Structure 1
Amino acid sequence: MSRRISKESPNSLGEKHGGISGDDVLINGRRGSADDMLAVLGYQAELVRSRSTLQVAFMSFVLASVPYGLATTLYYPLIGGGPVAVIWGWVAVCLIILCVAISLGEITSVYPTAGGVYYQTYMLSSPKYRNITAWICGWAYSLGNMTITLSVNFGTTLFFIGCVNIFTDADGVGIWTATTWQTWLLFVAITLLCNAISALGNKWLPLLDTFAIFWTFAGVFAIIITILVVARNGRHNASYALGNFTASSGWVPGWSFFIGLLHAAYATSATGMILSMCEEVRQPATQVPKAMVGTVVLNMICGFIFLVPLCFVLPAIEDLILLAQPFPYIIAQAVGSQGGAFALCVPIMVLGILCGVGCTTASSRCVWAFSRDGAIPGYQLWKQVNHKLDVPLNAMMLCMVCEILLGLIYFGSTAAFNGFSGAGVIFLTIAYVMPIIVSLIGRRKALKNGVYDFGAFGYFCNFVAVAWTLLVTPLFSMPSYLPVPATGMNYASAVFVGGVAVSAIWYFVWGIKNYVGPPAAQEEVERRRSSIVINHH
């Protein structure tokens, strides 16, 4: 397949203006581009590099969609510890994820490919173990992308239903008592919509991401200003809003607080998914790390601004924990108008769709990148790119079908969303930490070939990321409350074990004899790098 370079690629722009753009390279004295750097890493360019620094940062922001993520999972910190878990759990997790983003940013500046953490793990691992470590990381990354996308679309479904039920009948009961079938069918419709937008509107997605930034802040300020000004039921004092701890989960207080961290972990879990967009970014070695780290900081500020006013107008927590989606109820109680409350929820509903589109886009690139190295059954089909749409359409359809089938778990558990979000966080966290661990084992020597190496501070961030993984894996497999009825089981562990089983079975059936990893081993990449000088302006 011939290489396809966008008309607006860094190479063509550099020649047009007589200069070298930020990530242009000199290979044996010849001016090249990010596509030439990709060739050094072992791949031909097949996707169009259409995103600038701001656009990739905007997409990273949309992948998190903090107000949406925090609104749809508000139940967990409310039962975990009330306002303390809501606000300070958010700040604590953001600082941890900032360390994860810095750690991944350092490594991505060395290996900027759509394979993301999977490719990085392979390159940084010992030759003796690189196949198995890359296999584990790649499957965790792919399954994490799919389950997070699934949880976003399912969360949007539940949120839509909660918003409709802002409107009540004469007895105060929501007007739509959605059956299991109705819920699942709405989820399928939302999933199909997100896939259609991502597949058919790829060239307009950067504009959609830009719109999402302004939409997010306009919606957040509309919500917080209205609820604080109206506050129909009054406002709590600062000691309650910022310091009240009420554990309602049935767990001991300390562990209950940790259970509530799923709220923040879920909203920040998509941080590393932007790595799968490296081959559609003009200067990936610098743009993607900057976007990851900058977005975490922006998300932390945005989330804090969003959550603090909510805690000042919280209704009784014992009433909120009876609701799957407490956010619409909080807004309705604060403004005292069903129509007004619904209108304030519309920005979050739109963000749910935009977040679903972003996650659909990133997950399709992840599965495509893993398939082109032959690691997924039927990889010959999934590694193909539809050049009319400039998207890996087959990989996108694979993800969509898997998500819809996994959504059937809802028929067995009303806590299915908890399982999807928990499993997604676990898979992605494991995937993110694997290149960090092997980089630490190699004493971070590979970072000398990249743009970023933060030295001692980088070591600190690496250790924080590893510690976070050790906490997350068992934590989010636990039920969110005690006692646990059969219909309230946390299926995160079942989804996680099922994913691991599929990966292990395929490895022993096919991978152990046939899988060889990315096309260029570390030694070959290092040899090619020896003749490269990278200009970073």
Structure 2
Amino acid sequence: MEEINIDDKQLAQLGHGQSFKRQFSRWTMLGLAFAILNSWTALASSLSLALPSGGPVGIIWGLVTAGVCNLSLAASLAEFLSAYPTAGGQYHWVAMIAPEPLKASLSWVTGWINMSGWIALVATNSSLASTLIINIISLVYPSYQFYRWHQFLIYLGITFIAFFINTFLHKLLPHINGFALVWSIVGFFILSITLLACAAPDYATGEYVFTHFINTTGWPDGIAWLLSLLQGGLGLTGFDAVAHMIEEIPNAAIEGPKIMLYCQYIGIGTGFLFLTVILFVSGGLKNATTIITSPAGPLLEIFYLATSNKTGAVCLLMFPLLCLVLAGTAVLTTSSRMVFAFARDGGLPASAIWWKIHPTLGVPLNAIYLNVAIVVIFGCIFLGSTVAFNAIVASSVVALGLSYGIPIALHVAYGRTRLPERAFSMPGWLGWTTNIIGLAYTIVTSVLFLFPPALPVTGTTMNYCIVAFAIIIVISLIQWIVDGRKNYRGPRITIGEQELQD
């Protein structure tokens, strides 16, 4: 009870009353955070991003590079989370340390970028899961004729599963996320052991796995390898979920930063080991072209090559597929809390609607509705153009990365002196090192991930991420001109307002 009182007091000092029950423990919150990262699953499911753009070198060493940089970002943001444990996360932190003349505008832009990144991540997760299901159909039925509306319906089904669990099974979320963590770790070991056993002794060489470079993009080798960082970035992003869920865990200022770092440690470790296994059992260079061009997708094709059995390959794919379905639930939970928090501080049109807590269900139901509605609209875009939809998917990584970089840039600009005393604080030399590494990574990848994935560039190979991101900024600016500059002042005091709304 003492811990809960401390949490309530700290949240009250930040201007907000307690809206949610603190029903998550350290381990169930770690389950939610890792369900979202699910690094080994996300990395394996997105092999198509790095195989043509660096091959094994891009996959393995790209992950190591992205891992060091994302761990630096996570450590940097963990200090903010310890100082200000509120669901607002990055936009709240920016408001706390930005210069007074820029406080509201920078907080506003950060909030919109972060919120857009999370909603796009919901769509990304449903897209990855639906792609795995389409891959299964393509492997089992080689004559299958793919139509985009097939995947659209699967995409909707996965999204609505997440909606149902978040709305009607809210009290079970800690248990579901705890199960997600166990399922992911168990699946990692079962898949690794099974694949190595089935593929023996026909393994790729160590030279292929760790030193072979493939570049079919048309870009110079250096640029191609840097573009392969998108795979590692996708597999390790989203660790700020802990921040947006921080009002639902006891002892938040201490446990939150630990969880943010733990999920990165697990993600980098399992991701590196599983990608190494995948490359060893792939058969090496002789199968590289087949894997890259397979209609079943690179991951399922490798499973099939390793097991020489379609049924076995599909059974193995059930582990990452269920991981992605469980991740969809966790991503929607987090995204709805981000919408709730930003609306609570007046950052959205008709904010009072979006931060209402349903009196019976105990969830921000309207915020969940808004998330699902936008994700369905994204799916309709997929019906018209996979290129445009892929831009939305890529923009989730860019948007989240920028939302990490803005508070860190301000922190560095002020010589790391703006944060108050906190439970988690790095030594000066380590803090400066992680801040600079994370900031450099954010700048480089935010530019590179806007590049077309291959040359020459055509209407269908163009990277429209810049367009998707520009739309986010334009909407944010219009809303700022219409409403924000008059009414938004950053995080506001809302204690007692929720009771008045109810």
TM range (shorter): over 0.9
Amino acid at match of 1:159: L
CA drift of 1:478 comes to: 1.6
Cα deviation 1:184-222 (Å, max 9, x = unaligned)? 121111111111112211111111111112211221222
Q: Residues of 1 paired with 2:371 and 2:341: CA distance?
A: 13
Cα deviation 1:118-153 (Å, max 9, x = unaligned)? 111101111111001100100011001111111111
Corresponding residue for residue 190 of structure 1: 158
Give the counterpart of 1:124 among 61, 84, 97: 97
CA drift of 1:448 comes to: 3.8
Q: Residues of 2 paired with 1:176 and 1:203: CA distance?
A: 41
Q: Any conservation in 2 of the 1:232–1:336 contact (CA below 8 Å)? A: no
Give the counterpart of 2:242 among 274, 279, 282: 274
CA drift of 1:505 comes to: 0.7
Q: Any conservation in 1 of the 2:43–2:271 contact (CA below 8 Å)? A: yes
CA drift of 1:446 comes to: 3.3
Corresponding residue for residue 410 of structure 1: 382
1:517 paired with 2:485, answer: no
Q: Residues of 2 paired with 1:88 and 1:187: CA distance?
A: 32
CA drift of 1:319 comes to: 2.1
Give the counterpart of 1:253 among 205, 221, 226: 221
Would the alpha carbon gap of residues 323 and 274 (structure 1) be closer, same or farther in structure 2, given more than 3 Å must change? farther
1:41 paired with 2:20, answer: no
CA drift of 1:416 comes to: 4.8
Corresponding residue for residue 120 of structure 2: 147
Q: Residues of 1 paired with 2:384 and 2:53: CA distance?
A: 24
Identity of aligned residues (%): 29
Alignment: residue pair count: 489
Cα deviation 1:323-351 (Å, max 9, x = unaligned)? 46310111011100000100000011100
Q: How is 1:68-83 mapped onto 2 (pairs within 5 angstroms)?
A: 68-83=41-56
1:394 paired with 2:362, answer: no
Q: Residues of 2 paired with 1:449 and 1:302: CA distance?
A: 34
Corresponding residue for residue 495 of structure 1: 468
Query: Secondary structure of the equivalent of 1:486?
Result: coil
Give the counterpart of 2:430 among 457, 460, 482: 457
Q: Any conservation in 2 of the 1:83–1:243 contact (CA below 8 Å)? A: yes
Q: Residues of 2 paired with 1:76 and 1:394: CA distance?
A: 35
Corresponding residue for residue 225 of structure 1: 193
Give the counterpart of 1:427 among 399, 404, 407: 399
Which of 289-298 and 384-393 deviates more? 384-393
Q: Residues of 1 paired with 2:354 and 2:203: CA distance?
A: 54
CA drift of 1:239 comes to: 0.9
Q: Residues of 2 paired with 1:416 and 1:236: CA distance?
A: 37
Q: Residues of 1 paired with 2:483 and 2:183: CA distance?
A: 47
Q: Residues of 2 paired with 1:236 and 1:318: CA distance?
A: 14
Q: How is 1:469-480 mapped onto 2 (pairs within 5 angstroms)?
A: 469-480=442-453
1:243 paired with 2:211, answer: yes
CA drift of 1:403 comes to: 1.3
Q: Residues of 1 paired with 2:372 and 2:462: CA distance?
A: 25
Query: Secondary structure of the equivalent of 1:483?
Result: coil
Give the counterpart of 1:310 among 261, 273, 278: 278
Q: How is 1:265-414 mapped onto 2 (pairs within 5 angstroms)?
A: 265-315=233-283, 316-323=287-294, 325-414=297-386
Would the alpha carbon gap of residues 323 and 378 (structure 1) be closer, same or farther in structure 2, given more than 3 Å must change? farther
Q: Residues of 2 paired with 1:55 and 1:320: CA distance?
A: 36
Cα deviation 1:231-260 (Å, max 9, x = unaligned)? 179211111111111112221111101111
Would the alpha carbon gap of residues 339 and 233 (structure 1) be closer, same or farther in structure 2, given more than 3 Å must change? farther
Cα deviation 1:402-430 (Å, max 9, x = unaligned)? 11112223234334564233200111111
Query: Secondary structure of the equivalent of 2:239?
Result: helix
Q: Residues of 2 paired with 1:108 and 1:447: CA distance?
A: 10
Q: Any conservation in 2 of the 1:413–1:489 contact (CA below 8 Å)? A: no
Q: Residues of 2 paired with 1:485 and 1:376: CA distance?
A: 37
Q: Residues of 1 paired with 2:294 and 2:162: CA distance?
A: 26
CA drift of 1:431 comes to: 0.7
Q: Residues of 2 paired with 1:163 and 1:106: CA distance?
A: 43
Query: Secondary structure of the equivalent of 2:418?
Result: helix
Corresponding residue for residue 64 of structure 2: 91
1:59 paired with 2:27, answer: no
Amino acid at match of 1:113: T
Q: Any conservation in 2 of the 1:104–1:432 contact (CA below 8 Å)? A: yes
CA drift of 1:311 comes to: 0.7
Q: Any conservation in 1 of the 2:123–2:375 contact (CA below 8 Å)? A: yes
Q: Any conservation in 1 of the 2:88–2:341 contact (CA below 8 Å)? A: yes
Query: Secondary structure of the equivalent of 1:467?
Result: helix
1:179 paired with 2:147, answer: yes
CA drift of 1:356 comes to: 0.5
Which of 357-366 and 292-301 deviates more? 292-301
Q: Any conservation in 2 of the 1:89–1:261 contact (CA below 8 Å)? A: yes
Give the counterpart of 2:440 among 467, 478, 486: 467
Q: Residues of 2 paired with 1:348 and 1:150: CA distance?
A: 17
Q: Residues of 1 paired with 2:92 and 2:129: CA distance?
A: 32
Q: Residues of 2 paired with 1:59 and 1:138: CA distance?
A: 22
Corresponding residue for residue 111 of structure 2: 138
Corresponding residue for residue 212 of structure 1: 180
CA drift of 1:492 comes to: 1.5
1:234 paired with 2:197, answer: no
CA drift of 1:291 comes to: 0.3
Q: Any conservation in 2 of the 1:166–1:341 contact (CA below 8 Å)? A: no
Q: Any conservation in 2 of the 1:109–1:451 contact (CA below 8 Å)? A: yes
CA drift of 1:76 comes to: 1.0
Q: Any conservation in 2 of the 1:419–1:490 contact (CA below 8 Å)? A: yes
Q: Residues of 2 paired with 1:498 and 1:448: CA distance?
A: 36
Q: CA RMSD in A?
A: 1.7
1:107 paired with 2:80, answer: yes
Give the counterpart of 2:130 among 153, 157, 180: 157
Q: Residues of 2 paired with 1:176 and 1:359: CA distance?
A: 31
**Bigger helix share:** 2
Which of 452-461 and 341-350 deviates more? 452-461
Which of 363-372 and 187-196 deviates more? 187-196
Corresponding residue for residue 4 of structure 1: none
Amino acid at match of 1:318: T
Amino acid at match of 1:209: N
